[in-house]
Structure 1
Amino acid sequence: MTASDFKARARAVLARLLPWLRPHLRPRTLLVLPPLFLLYVLVLIPFTPGIRDIRKAKVDQPAQIYSADGKLLAEFKPTHREWVSLKEISPQAIDALIATEDRRFYRHHGIDFGRTASAALHTFSGDRQGGSTLTQQLARNLYPEEIGRSQTLTRKLKEAITAFKIEAVYSKDEILETYLNTVPFLYNAYGIEMAARTYFGKSAGELDALESATLIGMLKGNSYYNPVINPERALDRRNIVLGQMVKFGHLPAAKLDALTKRPLRIDFERQTEEPGRAPHFAQQLRKWLIAWADDNDYNIYSDGLVVRTTIDSRLQTMATNALALQGNQLQSIANAAWGGRGGCANANADLAHAFIRETSDYRAAHDGGMSDADALKKLSTDRAFMQTLCENKTRVQAAFVALDPRNGQIKAWVGSRDFTQDPFDHVAQARRQPGSTFKPFVYGAAFERGAKPTDTFVDQAVEIPVKGAETWRPTDDSPPSGRPVSLRDGIAYSKNRITAQLMESVGPARVARLARDMGVRESHLDEVPSLALGTSPVTLKEMVSAYGTIANDGSYIEPLLVTRIENRDGEVLAQFESAPERALSVDATRKLVDVMRDVVNRGTGTMIRTRFGIRADVAGKTGTTQDNADGWFILMHPQLVAGAWVGFNDSRVTLRSDYWGQGAHSALPIVGDFMQRTLRSHLIDARVRFDTQETPGKWQTFVTRLRTWIDATFSKAPKPAAPKNAQTTAQHPARAKRAPAEPAAEVTEAPPQSPVFTTMPPILPALGETASAAQAPSEPASAPRQ
């Protein structure tokens, strides 16, 4: 625009403004306006980002997440961005930016008053133009909430004030570097580096003039000039940027004609972040860390926090590998059961139709006027549609978590088979019925009230009335035998009828309360008899935490994700540990651990011993839900508790196999493989054992001491003289064996009794022992389903 053109346009704008200004152009009014404007600017200053916040943004150090053994697990960045220095960016991209967006960038201090005035004149004359400098644009990008996006005077003033502050803190090169690393480019790509990779498959330093002009041209309107969706508009905008580069001396004019005739050459590929070693764990940790940072006035994206987590990278790798191995094997079984890829319609037509009706494609067809039959026919014959639908529905899912029961520290966390394919976390987010893995809470509540592992119930048909006119009738795989079954055998062989009778004696409310005390604290538990068989959905994290309470002698410790947080200089900002809470008495817990040993020694979890060869002192429980929809297994070692769940996202889909659908064959191999690897690598001690010796109570201790005192005080019997060869016999036990022995009286061996309750009357008559104390518990004829 020439000077004469500018004057003409200015006169035209004034001509339009004078009719409105004339009534207000009084001398006193004009004198008051400047002080009022200055006062308004001063009032706005506190509502803009402070210098401290601007310095933080300049540093931009995301929180770094480390494992307990010092491996980097993740970095918490605000966006999908990789910061590069100005030297690592193509000079032609920088030239294109300055020529197009702010040609006087190096000559102003945040505000280009000449450009602002020109933009205002164009706007008043009907040709709306932007007058923001790169510094003003950076202010908007960095602080959108503080500055806002509305087209008002207040927003422009906030933007200008923030721009002045940025110029006071940043050098010009730092402003350019920060701008180019924070500007958005669609498809979750932020910054010039990610944009170069996304649209051209190269780094920012390798961009040529055409590629630089294409990316810088997008800044005027990302969506409008998107080279993927709108290539013609992007091409025109690219050529305009090239023209600006020639106009301001960044490109030779002789090259312009040839360059503008070149086509767009886009090599588009969405950029995805690397999932890292423990992506689901990092996902949960981010939520926790954001809350902690907000409470303590830190920013997880810019303050350079260093977070030391409880995860052991070695155990995490073992867990990931074990889950992947078993998951792949189960997937091949699922594919065969459902007729191969895309074959769910042939395997179960009714269920396939139900799947179709739940899709957006069906809703669109139905809303468009198609009948249900026509829409089903159209979509069911679409081979690509059905293949995608069936693959999604019949994809086997699994989850695994392990923690140290002594301190609650989570050591491994795998939320799904593939985080990029299914980021949904089946450890902490998915609530599924736990099946028989819930039974230990019933037995624990019974032991707390005085029951003994040798107490028995008759294996008979059970009918328990519930609210209304309904009756609950739990069943097992085998018919009722009519024989007494001990509590030890009831849990070892996962007998539903025995557990149901025990639940009726103990009461659902007591069992639910114990489960909550032991760790099931986030999911709702229905206080009904069927709760004994795990009908209330819970998370895997809750169940493993509760089993950690069992392994920790009955003391609950809240699961721990982080041990400490440091600043960028290594100074400790916070340390974390969980305090133990008594949930179950020591005696009851030790009885529970002892009977749960039998699950792996001779019950439903024997594969731990037979297939994986684990000889360490372990105890656990299998679990399978109705129609084999969910498979569970949780194993306890004094130093590590590990649990796995296997199923499908849609509980209507199962492995369609009574063998593979059981937790003992679906989930147990994951835990067994993991524990085998852990023991072989000596990350836990195979020699450590659970302490299941019962400790006498206060009354028993008092009785014992009283008897000892009475015997010592009132006994008049002379002490027997020691035999002459006593010392020799003690020193040489083999020689004593060769001495002739007197004939012994024939005795009948009685079954072992609990030392604590041998001389005490039954504490719980309601438990209804169905066999005499001297009657040995009978073993079930066959191992039932879990």
Structure 2
Amino acid sequence: MGKTPVKKEKKQGFGRYIKWFWGLFFGGVLLVVLLFLLASWGAFGTMPTFEILENPQTNLATEIISSDGKTLGKYYLNDNRTPVAYDELPDHLVKALVATEDERFYEHSGIDAQGTLRAVVFLGRKGGASTITQQLAKQLFTEQVANNIVARVIQKIKEWVIAIRLERQYTKEEIISMYLNIYDFGYRADGIRSASRIYFGKEPRDLKTEESAMLVGMLKNSSLFNPLKREELTWNRRNVVLRQMEKNDFLTKEVKDSLQQLPIKLNFSAESHREGLATYFRMYLQNFLKKWTEDSKNRKPNGDKYNIYLDGLKVYTTIDSRMQRYAEEAVSEHMKKLQAEFFHQNTPDRNKTAPFLGLNQEEIDATMERAMKQSDRWRKMRDKLGKSEKEIRASFKEKAEMTVFTWDGEKDTIMTPMDSIRYYKFFLRTGMMSMEPQTGHVRAWVGGINYKHFQYDQVKQGARQSGSTFKPFVYATAIDQLHMSPCDKLPDVQHCIEANKYGNLTPWCPKNSNGKYTGKMMTLKEALANSVNTITATLIDKVGPVPVTQLVRSLGIESDIPPVPSIALGTPDFTVYEMVGAYSTFANQGVYVKPVMINRIEDKNGTVLFESVPETKDVMSEEVAYTTVKLMEGVTESGSGARLRNKWAVNNTLYKEVITGYPYEFTNPIAGKTGTTQNQSDGWFMGMVPNLVTGVWVGGEDRAVHFRSITYGQGATMALPIWGLYMRKCYKDKELGISTEDFRKPENLSIEIDCSKVSEEHTPEELNFEEIDF
């Protein structure tokens, strides 16, 4: 009788434990549900709305794209990010990501229950529980929190809620691409596209399996697994990824073993605003885009301005990356040799005022003073640091560590800022632009020798005296107004234009470059080929300077052109940009097409925001344009540009290396004109084939920085070799389709251009002219 109550108590006690167990279980479930609900309601901090989930906000760099589909560069502040779609990712990259970061990615809905349970039981010792979707949620919508368990738990709950929402909103493929696009791989490599280009110099689709494995390995911690600083650690991490790929049957053991033996091979190139391809053009384009965004007509649908650093615009340019590269290579190859000769001629024992010629000490001091006050250092110390002029001047005399430009790479040195100003004035500068005359599409733009150290753009900003490159405008006016022919003759005798005839205050009696006159009758073709000043003076006297200036204005040149006779010899200052546009009219049958640099601008979704419309103008008849072209062909056949066709025999070794070491030997029709200004301060060459017009200028920053003699200082020596090297590279690349044909001849041409029957033509040796105009 006494034992029965004891059994009841035991049964009741056991049942109580069961009730407590289920109570705690369901209470825990309800608590988790409540926590999820509270998190989703924003009790633990702001949560993203449906609209934000639909369009996550990430900063996107503006991308500059060449006409052949290559990325020339980007504009960004902190985030160098350009997103790529899932179908642009290689299969092995996706498999490496899934195998390493989330093996059950395609099975769960944002939270991996199995992984979470394992992480709780083993306290994370056997791997974490974050899925790819949770990692994306953390990157997109949550911030790092203080290192305490309560805050971390709340953050994890928020990540779970957001991850579930993301899984409902996006496909698995979209989640993968979003995650890879947002991750920071270091060195301004924001997202997989930038990482592929910066670490390996290629697009994501071109990555090799072992390269994809390295980048996926960096996802664990890009600062720790840094291939530039910790190559061995990164190599080991990459091999872990490859092992995971084998484990998940994405690689065979044999392939995995062979890939694990490979070293890490980088092709690292930081995407800097001051380095890379087409730097000067990119800076011009940046200023254009800033002005474009300021225009009230160019606004977002909500009325806000576009931000070129954050909004992910795509700018499709006319620049051809291949031609741009050839142009930059040609500039580097020639300017390095030319600069070596300039240094050779301006050692202290040869020129005590180097790099200046023809200046006294007072003039040199004034030049250096002007350069000092125009320097970035002066402006920064005055405007940002608030230093007095006395303090600023003193700082320019204090030695400091600095990195300077040399043609053999940057060099660390110690010198005063004032000495560095003078050092940089030794370097010759250049500007080069290449354009299709029929479309106006600019294919190459080289504004200088190195943008990082010489930021003044000699294509669009730097206007310099045009020299004899102006003469074709005078000849074209004479052909148009007087119906003159290349075969017409004029005497090579001194020609004077009396004072006040055309607004000139004094009589103008220009000399030939050698100060001599042959007294012979010369055809216009001979005269232009050999840049005979007297005959150019005769022509502008016949037509008057006003019609010449009117023609030049109609050719798109906006620089100041006074209507006086001396313009015939190239006294006005023009930019390379203006000259290429003007000369293109001759190659385009008399139709001027304004240079075009941008085809279109799109927003991040591909909506076209801007599309270029060609600006054209009929300037001269086909007959006048063609006749002028035939005149300029004489320059490369028997004039100052003839070295494009021949190997010149020169005894001077240095001269031969700088000038004639390039075996051009072009045989196709080429029209062109060299130009050299007084004291050899400016050297020009304008060269044309039917579908490409290219202009080159070379000179010092200051006009007093120049070669002593015409041998090196003429346009045929300073500028023409760059054109020749560039065109040789372009012709070698058959895909470019650069023309080797004749210029198009107009139907019913009434002007005689065949001078073969004209007697008394003279050879360049007989004429003995050198190219210099003053």
The bucket for the TM-score relative to the shorter chain is: 0.5 to 0.7
- After TM superposition, give the deviation of residue 422 of structure 1 in Å: 1.2
Aligned to 1:530: 566
Asked if the contact 2:397–2:416 (Cα under 8 Å) also holds between the matched residues in 1, the reply is no
Counterparts of 1:271 and 1:309, CA distance in 2: 18
1:453 aligns with one of 472, 476, 486: 486
Q: Quick one: structure 1 residues 390 and 369, their matched pair in 2 at CA, closer, same or farther if it must change by over 3 Å?
A: closer
Question: Of 738, 747, 752, which residue of structure 2 is paired with 1:754?
Answer: 752
2:641 maps to 605
Any idea what SS the aligned residue of 1:358 has? helix
Once the 2 structures are TM-superposed, how far is the Cα of residue 303 of structure 1 from its aligned partner? 3.7
- Structure 2 alignment gaps of length 5 or more: 1-48, 84-131, 156-168, 170-178, 199-217, 225-269, 301-305, 401-413, 648-663
The match for 1:286 is 286
Q: Which amino acid aligns with 1:607?
A: R
Q: Specify the alignment match of 2:326 in structure 1.
A: 318
Correspondence for 1:692 among 741, 745, 768: 745
SS at 2:468 equivalent: helix
Distance in 1 separating the partners of 2:701 and 2:484: 39
Structure-2 change in CA distance of 1:584 and 1:53 (3 Å)? farther
What corresponds to 2:440 in structure 1?
408
Residue deviations 1:177-206 (CA, integer Å, cap 9, x gap): 9xx999xxxxx9999x99xx9xxxx99946
Deviation, 1:392, is 1.1
Please say if residues 183 and 219 of structure 2, whose CA atoms lie closer than 8 Å, have aligned partners that are also in contact: no
Cα pair distance change 1:617/1:404, threshold 3 Å = same
Match of 2:370 in 1: 358
Residue of structure 1 in register with 2:496 after alignment: 463
Q: Say if 2:353 is the partner of 1:301.
A: no
Matches of 1:274 and 1:401, distance apart in 2: 19
Q: Give the aligned partner of residue 494 of structure 1.
A: 531
| Paired amino acid for 1:426 | Q
1:329 to 337, 341, 344: 337
Residue 409 of structure 2: aligned partner: none
Once the two structures are TM-superposed, the CA of residue 283 in structure 1 deviates from its matched residue by 1.6
Superposed CA RMSD in Å reads 5.0
| Larger Rg, first or second structure (1 or 2) | 1
Structure 1 letter corresponding to 2:744? D
Q: Which residue of 1 aligns with 2:120?
A: none
Residue 377 of structure 1 and its aligned partner are, at CA, apart by: 14
Shift of 1:274: 5.6
> Which of 713, 717, 724 is residue 661 of structure 1 equivalent to?
713
How far does residue 360 in structure 1 lie from its aligned partner after superposition? 4.3
Structure-1 residue corresponding to 2:71: 72
By how many angstroms is 1:569 displaced? 4.2
**Alpha-carbon distance in 1 for matches of 2:575, 2:50:** 46
1:784 deviation in Å? Answer: 2.9
Letter in 2 for 1:679: Y
The match for 1:616 among 668, 679, 698 is 668
The superposition leaves residues 714-769 of structure 1 with CA deviations (integer Å, 9 ceiling, x where unpaired) of xxxxxxxxxxxxxxxxxxxxxxxxxxxxxxxxxxxxxxx83999xxxxxxxxxxxx
Residue type of the alignment partner of 1:414: V
| Residues 291 and 388 of structure 1: CA distance in aligned 2, closer, same or farther (over 3 Å) | closer
Secondary structure at the residue paired with 1:453? coil
Q: 1:585 aligns with which of 607, 621, 626?
A: 621
The reply to whether residue 518 of structure 1 matches residue 555 of structure 2 is: yes
Name the residue aligned to 2:62: 63
User: 1:376–1:296: structure 2 CA closer, same or farther, 3 Å change rule?
Assistant: closer
Q: Secondary structure at the match of 2:465?
A: coil
Is the Cα contact below 8 Å between 1:88 and 1:205 reproduced in 2?
Answer: no
Q: Shift in Å at residue 526 of structure 1?
A: 1.6
CA distance in 2 between partners of 1:377 and 1:280 (Å): 31
Matches within 5 A, 1:414-453: 414-449=446-481, 450-453=483-486
2: CA distance, partners of 1:755 / 1:370: 64
> CA separation in 2, counterparts of 1:55 and 1:504?
72
TM-score after normalising by structure 1: 0.58
Change (3 A) 1:283 1:370: closer
Task: Please list every run of 5 or more consecutive structure 1 residues that lacks an aligned counterpart in the other structure.
Answer: 1-49, 108-168, 170-176, 183-187, 209-269, 698-752, 758-772
Q: Conserved in 1, the CA contact under 8 Å of 2:430 and 2:458?
A: yes
**Aligned AA (1:289):** L
Please say if residues 630 and 663 of structure 1, whose CA atoms lie closer than 8 Å, have aligned partners that are also in contact: yes
**In 2 relative to 1, CA 534–477 (structure 1 residues): closer, same or farther, beyond 3 Å?**
closer
Asked if 2 retains the 8 angstrom alpha-carbon contact of 1:540 and 1:643, the reply is yes
Summarize deviations over 1:411-456 as a string: whole Å, max 9, x none.
Answer: 1111111111112211011111111111111001111111222222
Distance in structure 1 (CA, Å) of the matches to 2:564 and 2:147: 73
AA aligned to 2:66 is S
> Are 1:404 and 1:641, in contact at CA under 8 Å, matched by a contact in 2?
yes
- Kindly state the Cα deviation for residue 370 of structure 1 after the two structures are TM-superposed: 14
Are positions 1:783 and 2:750 aligned together? Answer: no
Alignment CA distance shift 1:88-1:536 (3 Å): farther
Pairwise CA distance, 1:534: 1.3
Give the corresponding residue for 2:540: 503
Give the % identical residues.
30
Q: Aligned runs of 1:82-121 on 2, under 5 Å?
A: 98=146
